[in-house]
Amino acid sequence: MLENDLKFLEETFKQYYFDHFDLIHVPDRSKEREYGYKKFNSGMIRHMSLKTDKDLHLMLMTNVPSDVFCSNGYYSFPNLPMAEKDWKEADLIFDIDAKDLNLSCRKDHTCMKCVSCNEISLVQDTCPKCKSNKLDLVSLPCQNCISGVKKEVLNLVKILTSDLQIDDKNIRISFSGNEGFHVYVTNSSYNQLGSNERRDLIDYIKFQSAIPERFGFPKNNPSRTSFPDLGDPGWSGRVAKELFGSKSKRSKVITKVIADGKVAYQQKLEAMKDSIGVKIDSNVTSDIHRIFRLEGSLNSKSSLVKLVCEDIEKFNPYTEACLIDDQPVEISANSPIKFRLKNTNFGPYIDEKISVPKYAATYMICKGLAAVSNA
């Protein structure tokens, strides 16, 4: 990152933290958690202990981090090296991101940046300037992406409450500050699960490793009555809805399933993980030592805020989580795709010197699609 851009982002982030201390708090059982942070153009600093909001605010103003993190795990000694922390338990956390949904709209708001020469262009096989194939994709998610992630989140919450009997008061949803949402489960018996048990839970939620015997196709002589009904609870009902579509089609579909055989039914079940399984990030949920972005902090990939969502269906991250001020900033912009923040459309820009509100400038600079203008 250029020195002018680095200085601009540090000043902007510092001003945000000064203006919005009210949004930034240490979580429950803070003394048992590990904290960490990153600075622009540097690596992670972790194994920190913060006990109060005052400690946290002092760290923010002293270090001006690009990103701030807090563990899902609880430890006897959170500031010691990992092998000496003495792990007690960990909140169950799920990460659902737009990039993992394979939505058709993504191609319309993704461009590429050449690693070799920094040329920015619409997506193609090679860099149009130097012909390199070392390319980074840059996406500016749209409302359709956010709607798709919200749908996955609501499906996940339904499974957590109905199948796993988790009280909804112990479930918290946060916008991640970039392309997705985090779902937290706290104060539940699932906190005690280790990584291996969490992987079993992941398989269940993603509908992985389903077998025909579990859904109506026994080893010998399958019958119509053995297949699930649309009104069945849990995955049986979800499979039935996906397989039959309606009660009236059930008999006809079962006839074909039996005729096609067990192997074909296994393939149908495996394919269903893409349509009815929840698209959570397995690595996030299984990691009992991960440190997660702190609620109320800025995401350096976008300059948007990680915020708790009281009503996810109404939540609009591109207005509610866009809290940088609107002071005009001169930038050199090269964003071949458009985006929308605070109900205002921006772009596309092709090597243009323009004046935009600071929130739009920081967003593009964080995405690597603009630089502070020297003129």
Catalytic residues: 95, 97, 281
Distances (CA, A) of 51 to 27, 48, 65, 186: 9, 10, 18, 19
Output the DSSP codes for 89-136. Answer: EE-EEEEEEGGGS--GGGGGGEEEEETTT--EEES-SS-TTT----EE
Q: How far apart are CA 47 and CA 70, in angstroms?
A: 10
Long-range contacts of 344-348 (CB under 8 A, 24+ apart): none
Q: How many CB atoms lie within 10 A of CB 263?
A: 9
Q: Return the SS3 of 371.
A: strand
Q: Return the SS3 of 88.
A: strand
Tokens of 112: 């590429």
Backbone conformation region of residue 177, classed left if phi is above 0, alpha if psi is from -120 to 50, else beta: left
Q: Return the SS3 of 299.
A: coil
- Give rounded-to-5 percent helix, strand, coil for the chain: 40, 20, 35
Distances (CA, A) of 28 to 25, 145, 177, 356: 9, 31, 21, 39
In the block, tokens 């992985």 appear at 208
Q: How many CB atoms lie within 10 A of CB 59?
A: 17
Q: How far apart are CA 36 and CA 70, in angstroms?
A: 6
